[in-house]
């Protein structure tokens, strides 16, 4: 393989020179060139992102991140080529269309040449634009490649290329959803015997994320197709009308409310100079319940399973009782939102302030998933690299950012809706004391004493007007993940609030924490502020 020939062909591909695709279509020796171009495009993206601070360019983290980008690049190459072959030769073929899959894969590989421009994604202010140009360049080069590989006219080449890319996006979404289902089913965390027993308990009540995602994609496509039927002005008053409706909310307004809230969130984020992927997109609906499982001898969430939203109290207590018989502590909780799918899942039964806050928080989780902190959290969730402190940092950061952004949105768009004031100082103090005492009990191995203590305290809180249905290890494992919650005794909340106070802006705070991969990074950052 001649390096000069490879460089020449790449430069011509970047200039959208059609002759390069005519050359490689019949050049079977160019297979390795196509492979190398895809690898170079992936490396360019990884290096550019790494310089920008996405990865820590040392140790296993940078290696892992780079390997993932390279694998994703290769998968995209093969998947995109396959769909182009399927659509181009079966649906849009012309009289002169005759090509093998191998030839098409080779030709499409050269269309990744503009991707090497992504190495400049680190350039301040214009880095995002450069990445966008590189992405569009790949699509345009792909259209040119399809035109000459399949002998199709420009219009058919364009439709074939873009439709195939859209199919790749759907595959990506389904894959992410499947991973979410897997991690929420706990398949990566516990032994098969425990899994089998617990799954037999929850099987009749399990919520299908896959079915929900399929319905969400269908609805998104339907709304997109109907968007051309006419321009209907959607005002912010629709959100107010929807939220304040009683006794039941008008579900026909939900699609409009989703657009309004998504727009308001994006505008507010942009005003704070926060731009990121993915775009804000949410779906209002009745959220599923979540079964949280913790060991009895320590407070830690080791299993989380989504259940149907309409469970009765009798069914909830029966599921928990049967789960507890397996030697664990369990609790079924309500979810306010879930960002493990796209669009994010937001409850349609909360008040205005809670709805806004949840929508922002779930987007922050999605935003962080493409940063070192969030990706490290994903590894924790699926059991690849457990780190409870990372989970706490991630959840607390999302909570802090959502509080600030949602407050700005409420003040700007809905000043007449005051946030309900709740005075739970006594409850906060009591829960912290209970948690500290429970940790002491468990550290001494006194499990039964800890559980008896929690039940006694629950009854005491009940007599004071604070209703907590079940107070156990699973309760603290779930609510204690948020270091800014009263049920948490973690110092991480204090540390993050201090860092926020030292940051000149919300963007600066988010940029600082998003590249952290351990609590030590947080400690080191705070120590550097004292120097």
pLDDT digit string, tens, across residues 44-102: 887 877 675 544 433 334 566 677 788 888 989 999 999 998 888 888 888 777 888 88
Peptide bond into 517 cis (omega under 30): no
- Output the pLDDT for position 221: 65
Average pLDDT over residues 156-182: 76
Average pLDDT over residues 357-361: 95
* Lowest-confidence segment of 24-28, 123-127, 387-391 by average pLDDT: 123-127
Average pLDDT over residues 129-157: 90
Q: What is the DSSP letter of 284?
A: E
**Number of neighbouring beta carbons within 10 Å of residue 246:** 5
Q: Are strands 344-347 and 282-285 parallel, antiparallel or unpaired?
A: parallel
DSSP labels, 84-119: HHHHHHHTS--TT----HHHHHHHHHHTTGGGGGGG
- Output the pLDDT for position 46: 79
Residues 6+ apart with CB under 8 A from 356: 261, 264, 265, 406, 409, 410
**Residue 138 scores a pLDDT above 80:** yes
Q: Which pLDDT band holds residue 483 (cuts at 50, 70, 90)?
A: low
First to last CA, the chain: 54
- Output the pLDDT for position 54: 47
Tokens 């990372």 — which residue?
390
Residue 20 near residue 95 (C-beta atoms within 8 A): no
- Determine the 3-state secondary structure of 151 from DSSP: coil
pTM value is 0.67
Q: What's the mean pLDDT when you consider all of the chain?
A: 83
Give me the half-sphere count of Cα atoms (radius 13 Å) on the Cβ side of residue 113.
Answer: 26
SS3 sequence, 408-433? HHHHHHCCCCCCCCCCCHHHHHHHHH
**Residue 450 scores a pLDDT above 80:** yes
Q: If 0-12 CB within 10 Å is exposed, 13-18 middle and 19+ buried, where does residue 322 land?
A: middle
**Number of neighbouring beta carbons within 10 Å of residue 504:** 7
């Amino acid at each position: 393989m001649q390096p000069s020939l490879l460089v020449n062909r790449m430069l011509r591909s970047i200039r959208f020179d059609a002759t390069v695709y005519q050359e490689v279509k019949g050049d079977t020796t160019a297979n390795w060139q196509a492979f190398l171009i895809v690898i170079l495009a992936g490396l360019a993206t990884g290096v550019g992102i790494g310089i920008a601070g996405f990865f820590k360019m040392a140790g296993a983290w940078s290696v892992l991140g780079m390997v993932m980008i390279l694998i994703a690049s290769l998968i995209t190459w093969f998947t995109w080529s396959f769909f182009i072959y399927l659509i181009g030769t079966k649906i849009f073929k012309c009289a002169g269309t005759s090509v093998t899959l191998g030839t098409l894969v080779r030709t499409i590989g050269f269309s990744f040449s503009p991707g090497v421009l992504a190495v400049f994604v680190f350039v301040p202010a214009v880095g995002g634009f450069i990445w966008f140009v590189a992405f569009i360049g790949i699509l345009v080069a792909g259209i040119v490649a399809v035109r000459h590989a399949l002998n199709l006219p420009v219009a058919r080449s364009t439709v074939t290329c873009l439709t195939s890319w859209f199919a790749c996006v759907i595959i990506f979404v389904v894959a992410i959803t499947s991973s979410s289902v897997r991690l929420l089913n706990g398949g990566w965390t516990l032994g098969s015997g425990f899994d089998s027993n617990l799954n037999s308990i929850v099987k009749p009540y399990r919520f299908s994320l896959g079915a929900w995602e399929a319905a969400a994609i269908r609805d998104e496509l339907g709304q997109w197709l109907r968007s051309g039927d006419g321009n209907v002005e959607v005002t912010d008053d629709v959100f107010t009308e929807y939220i304040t409706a009683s006794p039941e909310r008008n579900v026909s307004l939900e699609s409009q409310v989703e657009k309004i809230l998504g727009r308001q969130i994006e505008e507010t984020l942009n005003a704070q100079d926060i731009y990121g992927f993915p775009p804000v997109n949410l779906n209002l609906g009745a959220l599923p319940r979540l079964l949280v499982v913790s060991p009895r001898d320590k407070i830690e969430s080791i299993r989380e399973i989504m259940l149907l939203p309409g469970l009765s109290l009798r069914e909830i207590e029966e599921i928990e009782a049967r789960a507890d018989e397996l030697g664990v502590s369990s609790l079924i909780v309500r979810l306010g939102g879930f960002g493990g799918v796209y669009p994010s899942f937001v409850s349609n039964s909360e008040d205005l302030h809670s709805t806004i806050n949840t929508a922002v928080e779930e987007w922050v989780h999605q935003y962080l998933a493409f940063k070192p902190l969030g990706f490290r959290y994903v590894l924790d969730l699926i059991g690849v690299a457990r780190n409870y402190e990372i989970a706490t940092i991630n959840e607390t950061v999302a909570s802090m950012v959502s509080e600030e952004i949602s407050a700005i949105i409420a003040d700007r768009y809905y000043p007449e809706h005051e946030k309900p004031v709740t005075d739970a100082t006594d409850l906060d103090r009591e829960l912290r004391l209970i948690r500290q005492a429970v940790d002491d009990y468990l550290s001494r191995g006194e499990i039964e004493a800890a559980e008896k203590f929690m039940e006694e305290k629950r009854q005491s809180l009940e007599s004071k007007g604070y209703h907590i249905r079940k107070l156990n290890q699973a309760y603290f494992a779930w609510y204690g993940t948020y270091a800014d919650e009263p049920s948490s005794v973690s110092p991480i909340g204090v540390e993050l609030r201090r860092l926020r106070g030292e940051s000149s802006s919300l963007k600066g705070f988010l940029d600082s924490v998003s590249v952290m991969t351990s609590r030590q990074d947080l400690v080191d950052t705070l120590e550097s502020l004292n120097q």
